[in-house]
Chains A and B, each alone.
Chain A
Amino acid sequence: MARVQALRCRECGTEYQLQPTHVCEQCFGPLDVVYDYTEVTRGLRERIASGPPSMWRYRDLLPIPDGAPLVTLDEGFTPLVRAERLGAELGLRNLYLKNDTMNPTNSFKDRVVSVAVTWARAHGFETMGCASTGNLANAVAAYSARAGLEAYVFMPADIENAKVVATSVYEPNLIAVRGNYDDVNRLCSQLAEELPWAFCNINVRPFYAEGSKTLTFETAEQLGWQLPDEIVIPIGSGCQFVRHRRAAGELLELGLVPGDRLPALTAAQALGCAPVYNAWRDGTERVRPVRPNTIAKSIAIGNPSDGPYVVRIAKETGGLVEAVTEEEIVDAIRLLARTEGIFTETAGGVTLGVLVKLARAGRWKGDEVIVAYLTGHGLKTADALNGSAGGRTVEIDPTLKSFREVVAV
């Protein structure tokens, strides 16, 4: 039996041959990759342990044909940092941070894009595309350069300058669209039907999305092949969140971790763009779109495709959906930097902000193993801290006198 078998609709179960498509023709539900892991189960943990120090150590659990050459920049296998000082502030004795800011283009998107570009090149595509809030564009531009493929990346025209520079340096075709992310996405879905391109988050999404699983695979391996009690995850479209449920399920089914209990999966949104939180609060899976207005632009998605599943999975696993204000986002970024020496972008501030909010509200006793996924680097959104960065900044003359007078230690 082939390891990578088919695509299956998450809603109605209709199966499709492996192909670049993401939507069920029957019900418009999203398509997921179906595997048969029978032949990879034996000796799997040893094969992973002897694999490369990147996310490709989990190749057996990813939808890439055997033998296809990888398009990789050694993404993944990022540090799982034990956060003792931050934990002490929050009364959490087993708090960990998955520092995915350490990826080649400084966000978790390198994982999904490495899979997408590898898949696309293996299937004869010559051009990559994506609709992006910035991080995906960075990664698509870099990995397309690495693979020698043409790239067209579409972003809202108001995206952070750092993300524009960090994309255009790889010389893709950068298309700034006068509209928000949801507008960009709609345009790209229509383009994807006309053009023979591999749009990461559209027609090759079923394959692309699978790359996110490696965050949770690594977390378990780095905890000594244990699942944590709870994971806090930022929510844009919810695509990533759904994969962590899948990854945890696969780890249990494959016997890579003991027990049968899924970690609680908790979803974090910015109140300025909180369609999933709104649905959770209202007790429904029907997610109504909103117009985003938040500094957390990388997750400012007003119409989240996987929103209903986020609500369902949070409930199923004993997690929840929480949201934080702009001020709480910035405070959390500063708290993290001050206590752990890690600088995360605004989406990471959302994740941390929710962690802080829940800890202070008494959600945990203190012994639980809790992991927060920090999915992007702070330099990408440095402007968000203009005027509010912490610490002490003074200016002096280059003399001892001036130092003694002004700094006064």
Chain B
Amino acid sequence: MPTIRIPGPLRSLSGGQSTVDVEAADLRGAIERLDEKHPGFKSRLLDEEGEPRQFVNIYLNDEDIRLGDGLRSPVKESDEISIVPAVAGG
């Protein structure tokens, strides 16, 4: 099953778990399943239009999903989905 890595600030929603396994065919489905298991995730991650919020970065394995197919990206058994807050740089 694809695994979702939960960042520290959201682990209060997942009962402290740092990873949650979900059964889904694409990323949007994965977030739906995550929200069914642990209610609250969807509204934290997605805006009113159902797109990832500005300060939420979602990675499928190593790839920022906004550089690819976004939430339509298909997910496989072995995939890891990471939710990472935006960080400053330089």
Whole-angstrom CA separation of A240 from B87 in the bound complex: 13
Q: Counting CB contacts under 8 A, is A27 at the interface?
A: yes
Q: Counting CB contacts under 8 A, is B62 at the interface?
A: yes
Choice from B55, B56, B67, B87 contacting A205 with Cβ under 8 Å: B87
CB contact list, B50-86 vs A, under 8 A: 53-57, 59, 62, 64, 66-67, 82, 84-86
Q: Counting CB contacts under 8 A, is A393 at the interface?
A: no
Assuming A28-B44, A291-B67, is B55 touching A11 (CB within 8 A)?
A: yes
Residue pairs across A and B with Cβ atoms less than 8 A apart, 18 shown, are A22-B87, A25-B12, A28-B44, A28-B56, A28-B85, A28-B86, A136-B89, A182-B64, A186-B82, A190-B5, A193-B8, A202-B87, A202-B88, A208-B88, A298-B90, A299-B90, A306-B88, A308-B54
Choice from B54, B56, B85, B88 contacting A239 with Cβ under 8 Å: B88
Q: Do A22 and B85 touch across chains, with their CB atoms under 8 A apart?
A: yes
Q: Counting CB contacts under 8 A, is A30 at the interface?
A: yes
Residues of A within 8 A of B10 (CB): 25
Whole-angstrom CA separation of A181 from B44 in the bound complex: 26
Q: Do A133 and B90 touch across chains, with their CB atoms under 8 A apart?
A: yes
Q: Do B87 and A188 touch across chains, with their CB atoms under 8 A apart?
A: yes
Interface residues of B (CB under 8 A from A): 5, 7-10, 12, 44, 53-57, 59, 62, 64, 66-67, 82, 84-90
Residues of A within 8 A of B62 (CB): 179, 183
Q: Counting CB contacts under 8 A, is A288 at the interface?
A: yes
Whole-angstrom CA separation of A285 from B54 in the bound complex: 9
B35 to chain A, nearest CB (A): 16
Residues of A within 8 A of B53 (CB): 27-28
Q: Do A303 and B64 touch across chains, with their CB atoms under 8 A apart?
A: yes
A28 to chain B, nearest CB (A): 4
Q: Do B59 and A135 touch across chains, with their CB atoms under 8 A apart?
A: no
Q: Do B86 and A201 touch across chains, with their CB atoms under 8 A apart?
A: no
Whole-angstrom CA separation of A24 from B86 in the bound complex: 11
Q: Counting CB contacts under 8 A, is A209 at the interface?
A: yes
Choice from B9, B12, B67, B89 contacting A23 with Cβ under 8 Å: B9
Q: Do B85 and A185 touch across chains, with their CB atoms under 8 A apart?
A: no
Closest to A181 in B: B89
Residues of B within 8 A of A21 (CB): 9
Closest to B18 in A: A193
Residues of A within 8 A of B82 (CB): 186, 190
Return the 4 tightest CB-CB contacts between A and B, nearest first. Answer: A237-B89, A305-B86, A239-B88, A28-B55
Interface residues of A (CB under 8 A from B): 11, 21-30, 109, 131-133, 135-136, 179, 181-183, 185-186, 188-190, 193, 201-202, 205, 208-209, 236-237, 239-240, 285-291, 298-299, 301, 303-306, 308
Whole-angstrom CA separation of A186 from B53 in the bound complex: 17
Q: Do B87 and A131 touch across chains, with their CB atoms under 8 A apart?
A: yes
Q: Do B54 and A286 touch across chains, with their CB atoms under 8 A apart?
A: yes
Query: Interface SS of chain A: helix, strand, loop or mixed?
Result: loop
Q: Do B90 and A136 touch across chains, with their CB atoms under 8 A apart?
A: yes
Q: Do B89 and A289 touch across chains, with their CB atoms under 8 A apart?
A: no
Whole-angstrom CA separation of A243 from B54 in the bound complex: 20
Residues of A within 8 A of B64 (CB): 182, 289, 303
Residues of B within 8 A of A27 (CB): 44, 53, 55
Q: Do A190 and B90 touch across chains, with their CB atoms under 8 A apart?
A: no
Q: Do A305 and B55 touch across chains, with their CB atoms under 8 A apart?
A: yes
Assuming A28-B9, A28-B44, A193-B8, is B88 touching A305 (CB within 8 A)?
A: yes
Choice from A25, A30, A301, A303 contacting B90 with Cβ under 8 Å: A301
Residues of A within 8 A of B12 (CB): 25
Whole-angstrom CA separation of A382 from B78 in the bound complex: 44
Q: Do B90 and A201 touch across chains, with their CB atoms under 8 A apart?
A: yes
Whole-angstrom CA separation of A287 from B44 in the bound complex: 19
Residues of B within 8 A of A136 (CB): 89-90
Whole-angstrom CA separation of A21 from B87 in the bound complex: 11
B78 to chain A, nearest CB (A): 19
Assuming A25-B12, A289-B66, is B54 touching A201 (CB within 8 A)?
A: no
Residues of B within 8 A of A181 (CB): 89
Closest to B53 in A: A28
Whole-angstrom CA separation of A291 from B53 in the bound complex: 20
Q: Do A189 and B66 touch across chains, with their CB atoms under 8 A apart?
A: no
Assuming A27-B53, A286-B54, A291-B67, is B8 touching A185 (CB within 8 A)?
A: no
A234 to chain B, nearest CB (A): 10
